[in-house]
Amino acid sequence: MIRITDIIDKILDNDPDADVSLVDKAYIYSARVHDGQMRLSGEPYLTHPLEVAGILADMNLDCMSIAAGLLHDVIEDTHATPEEIGEMFGDDVRHIVDGVTKLSKLDGGSSEERHAESLRKMILAMADDIRVILVKLADRLHNMRTLKYHKKESKKREISQETLDIYAPLASRLGIYWIRKELENTAFMYLMPDEYERIRELTSKHSEEREHYIETVKSFIKAKMEEAELGCEVLGRYKHVYSIYQKMKKQHLEFENVYDIIAFRIILETKNARECYTAMALVHSLWRPIDTKTKMYIGKNAKQNGYESIHTTVIGPYGERIEIQIRTKDMDIVARSGIAAHWKYKEGKPADSHIREKFVWIHNLIENQKSIKDPKELLKNVRLDLLTEEISVFTPNGDVKTLPKGASPIDFAYLIHSEVGSQCTGAKVNGRMVPLRSELQNGDVVSIITSKGHHPSRDWLSFVKTVKAKNRIRQWIKAEDKARSISLGKEMCEKSFRKYRLNFNAVAKSEDMKDIFGQFGLKTIDDLLANVGYGKITPLQIIRKFLPSATEHPEHEAEPVSDKKPISGSGIVVTGVKDILLRFGKCCQPLPGDEITGYITLGQGVTVHRANCANLLQMNPERLVDVQWSQSEEAAYPVNIRIRSHDKVELMAELTRYIGKHGVNILKINAEVCPDNTVDATMTLVVRDADHLNRIISAIKNIKEIIEVIRLDS
Ligand code: MN
């Protein structure tokens, strides 16, 4: 059992000038108010706050946090009040203890709503004072260490699941990897005891052999470093059980096939970060590196949580993969306390102004979670934000930006500013233009090209990785959809009203109208129009409010509309409708040149079909609109064709080369050899228009083996 003197020793080891009187006072107070209480283990309750304070001292935290650790349960479990704590220990300590107490009330409960709520509270607490979360983490760590004393099996599982869902990701995000590992291992032990035991046993098997291996690798490294007069300590250890389990699961591997279960760490004595590169070069001169596996989180490339280290994987002395981390002593200290290492307080505020920048992500988290109502979605998003591996990229000015792995230039653009994101039209990576959907790599220099008035695109959603980008794009689409629906609804109403010799715009301004949208349960005329545009309300339903006897086919058809100019969009002109959301019928894949008809769909604008599309016959004629191809736009459209031919070696290769030569891209091929030795192939081609398609079809027909080429409806 840890004693207060041990804790004070730890504090003074880290900082000989620390004022430990606050810690002493907190200890005496805590001992007094918890007196007589017991833990489930049967030990005096005081052991718990002491252990928590010990963990906080291990994390290198300030005296206020450690005092708060000693006091973290007094408000909840004793007669102590926040006011009293404030008077005795100051506002900072009171604030931390208060924060931890509020979070404790949320503990337990296994529902996603509950977890989402805790997570939300924790994110807020984190922005308020990060030390609240650090004390909470230490509290959870000790509770996990003593979980065995819980009587109920279900309770153990519940707490373990919550630890895995919330606390381990938080520890990781805050850069306190040793706490993350211990939390994961312990939770794993309770949640999947058999798996845990099996892997643990496997790692201890042949332990003598492995110990020998570890010693061999260590001595190789040590000798090399000594040669270059680099003072260092070399550590070799097993990776934690849970990470081995995840590796096996993710890559479908048996234990025997998981190579890098032992990891090495070189801790350099020097304070000079550059020496890490020297050490890396030395290791690489010893063993060949796997280039793609080298990551240099140093200096400007440090992880967002401040973590610095080089990670490299090499082919070791027996042809095996070895993972090696290289860092200085200072970097190692940061790795123990994570984010907190940068968090020196002065009168309750972070002393370093750069600190704010380092924690931009916390504020991003808060901003992002505000707009998410669904707890499932929130859990998923925040976990995504917390867990995803990061890459560091640079602005042209050399500012470093951190993004999740797999992020695109669009994510980068939104990170710079929402405006930059939504007006992004292109991106340069390392000076070269790249597609917006390309994946950014560590170290890339990214510049974004914007143009005023440009808008986000729906398909960005299919590749962006950050929550911020996703939210912003969705927001825009929602607003845009509504605006489009309103304008579509207005056009539809104007058109229909005219058929009954009514002037919609005049009616819209009348007092009667207020009544009418009220009758539909709506608040504004725009809502009514949006509903018409979405197809939830038909214009006729509104007309009947004025002309109860109105039928679907008015006797007096209106004059053709002449004051409306066709407006183009995506290669299509919709008669009389402005700026409308268009999509192409998947059933018939219209091409420019084909005869086409538009159909107003429920909430998705207008779908364009070929005029002879069989599906059109089943659709509501009231919703059909005239559409034409516009001349101006250079575009590409997918179309399916079917090719039947005699079988021949390399037929497919020849066919694809041939089609390619005609400037046509192939999106998809499906080919099958039939029993009669003919080949039946369907392809999706990308063509400019119907003419283009016809040309390629006749070209294919010229190949000797081809029996038949037809355009498919779907
Ligand atoms: Mn506690």
Domain range holding 409?
388-457
Asked whether the predicted pLDDT for residue 604 surpasses 70, the reply is no
Q: Are 161 and 264 in the same domain?
A: no
Q: Which of 341, 372, 407 is the last residue of a domain?
A: 341
**Total number of domains constituting the chain:** 6
H helices present in 287-374, as ranges: 329-337, 354-358, 360-370
Q: Which of 306, 325, 341 is the last residue of a domain?
A: 341
Q: Are 248 and 315 in the same domain?
A: yes
Nearest-angstrom CA–CA distance, 537 and 531: 6
CATH code, domain with 697? 3.30.70.260
Mean per-residue pLDDT over the chain, rounded? 82
Q: What is the largest CA-CA distance in the chain?
A: 101
Q: 306: phi > 0 → left, psi -120 to 50 → alpha, else beta; which? A: left
652 found inside a domain? yes
Q: Which of 546, 574, 607 is the last residue of a domain?
A: 546
Asked whether the predicted pLDDT for residue 350 surpasses 60, the reply is no
CATH code, domain with 19? 1.10.3210.10
CATH code, domain with 401? 3.10.20.30
Asked whether the predicted pLDDT for residue 347 surpasses 60, the reply is no
Q: Are 112 and 24 in the same domain?
A: yes
561 found inside a domain? no
| Closest-CA residue to 221 (of 233, 203, 238, 206) | 233
Give the distance (Å) from ligand 1 centre to CA of residue 387. 26
Q: Are 648 and 624 in the same domain?
A: no
Asked whether the predicted pLDDT for residue 681 surpasses 60, the reply is yes
Report the pLDDT averaged over residues 371-385: 63
Give the distance (Å) from ligand 1 centre to CA of residue 48. 7
Catalytic residue check, 654: no
Q: Are 184 and 208 in the same domain?
A: no
DSSP conformational letter for 594: B
Q: Are 519 and 452 in the same domain?
A: no
| Closest-CA residue to 69 (of 119, 114, 116, 2) | 2
Give the distance (Å) from ligand 1 centre to CA of residue 54. 13
pLDDT of residue 563: 34
Q: How far is CA 20 from CA 61, 134, 336, in A?
A: 12, 19, 21
pLDDT tens digit string along 240-254?
A: 889 889 888 888 888
Q: Are 140 and 243 in the same domain?
A: no
Catalytic residue check, 76: yes
The highest-confidence range among 121-125, 187-191, 347-351, 534-538, by mean pLDDT, is 187-191
645 found inside a domain? yes
376 found inside a domain? no
Q: Are 622 and 596 in the same domain?
A: yes
Reported confidence tier of residue 447, pLDDT bands at 50, 70, 90: very high
pLDDT > 70 fraction of the chain, expressed in percent and rounded: 84
Contact (Cβ atoms closer than 8 angstroms) between residue 275 and residue 247: no
pTM: 0.57
Q: Are 655 and 705 in the same domain?
A: yes
347 found inside a domain? no
Give the distance (Å) from ligand 1 centre to CA of residue 142. 8
Nearest-angstrom CA–CA distance, 65 and 338: 15
pLDDT of residue 157: 92
pLDDT tens digit string along 611-664?
A: 888 887 777 776 777 787 765 555 678 888 999 888 877 777 778 888 887 778
Give the distance (Å) from ligand 1 centre to CA of residue 76. 9
Q: Are 268 and 187 in the same domain?
A: no
- The position carrying tokens 């080298």 is 294
Q: Write down the catalytic residue from 24, 77, 128, 713.
A: 77
Q: Write down the catalytic residue from 13, 15, 35, 76.
A: 76
pLDDT tens digit string along 135-147?
A: 999 999 999 999 9
551 found inside a domain? no
Q: Are 499 and 602 in the same domain?
A: no
Reported confidence tier of residue 406, pLDDT bands at 50, 70, 90: confident
Strands (E), 253-374: 262-268, 288-289, 295-297, 309-315, 321-328, 345-346, 349-350
Reported confidence tier of residue 346, pLDDT bands at 50, 70, 90: very low
CATH code, domain with 329? 3.30.460.10
419 found inside a domain? yes
Give the distance (Å) from ligand 1 centre to CA of residue 177. 21
Q: Are 150 and 271 in the same domain?
A: no
359 found inside a domain? no
- The tokens describing 643, both together, are 């090719």
